[in-house]
Amino acid sequence: MNTHEKRTSNKINIAYIGGGSRQWARKIMSDLIIEESISGEVRLYDIDTKAAKKNEVIGNMFNNLPGAKTTWHYKAVHTLKDALEGANFVIISITPGTIEKDMYSDVHTPECYGIYQAVGDTVGPGGYIRALRTIPMYIEIANAIKDYAPDAWVINYTNPMTLCVRTLYQVFPQIKAFGCCHEVFGTQELLMTALNEELNLGLTDRSQIKVNVSGINHFTWIDEAFYKDIDLIPIYTQFANKYYDHGLIKEEHRGDPFKNAHKVKFDLFRRYGVIAAAGDRHLIEFVPQWYLKNESDQEKWIYWLTKVERRINSLRNKNQETNDIIAGKKELTISPSGEEGVQQIKSILGLKSFVSNVNLPNAGQIPWLPKGAVVETNAVFKSGSVKPVQTGNLPLNVQNLVLQHAINQEALIHAFFNQDKQGIMNIFANEPMVKRLSIEESTELFNIMIDNTKAYLPEWLLH
Q: What is the pLDDT of residue 1?
A: 35
Q: Using 50, 70 and 90 to split pLDDT, how confident is the model at 369?
A: very high
Percentage above 70 pLDDT, the chain: 98
Region of residue 299 (phi > 0: left; psi between -120 and 50: alpha; otherwise: beta): alpha
**159 touches 219 (CB < 8 A):** no
Q: Using 50, 70 and 90 to split pLDDT, how confident is the model at 3?
A: very low
Q: What is the pLDDT of residue 8?
A: 54
Query: Is 231 strand, coil or helix?
Result: strand
Q: Using 50, 70 and 90 to split pLDDT, how confident is the model at 23?
A: confident
Which tens digit of pLDDT belongs to each residue from 28-69? 999 999 999 999 999 999 999 999 999 999 999 999 999 999
Pairing of strands 72-77, 38-45: parallel
Mean pLDDT on 456-461: 97
Q: What is the pLDDT of residue 24?
A: 85
Domain boundaries, the chain: 9-97+122-181, 98-121+182-306+339-463
State yes or no: pLDDT of 130 exceeds 50: yes
Mean pLDDT on 361-368: 98
Percentage above 90 pLDDT, the chain: 96
**Which of 257-265's residues contact partners 24+ apart within 8 Å by CB, and which partners?**
257/118, 257/281, 257/303, 257/304, 257/305, 257/306, 257/307, 257/310, 258/306, 260/186, 260/303, 261/302, 261/303, 262/190, 263/301, 263/302, 263/303, 264/291, 264/301, 264/303, 265/187, 265/190, 265/240
Q: What is the pLDDT of residue 169?
A: 98
The mean predicted confidence, pLDDT, of the chain is 96
Alpha-carbon 434 to chain mean position? 23
Q: What is the pLDDT of residue 6?
A: 54
Q: What is the DSSP string of 178-190?
A: EE---HHHHHHHH
Class of CATH domain 98-121+182-306+339-463? alpha beta
State yes or no: pLDDT of 4 exceeds 60: no
Which tens digit of pLDDT belongs to each residue from 314-340? 999 999 999 999 999 999 999 999 999
What is the architecture of the domain spanning 9-97+122-181? 3-Layer(aba) Sandwich (3.40)
Which tens digit of pLDDT belongs to each residue from 401-417? 999 999 999 999 999 99
Which tens digit of pLDDT belongs to each residue from 237-293? 999 999 999 999 999 999 999 999 999 999 999 999 999 999 999 999 999 999 999
**Which of 202-207's residues contact partners 24+ apart within 8 Å by CB, and which partners?**
203/227
**156 touches 169 (CB < 8 A):** no
Active site residues: 182
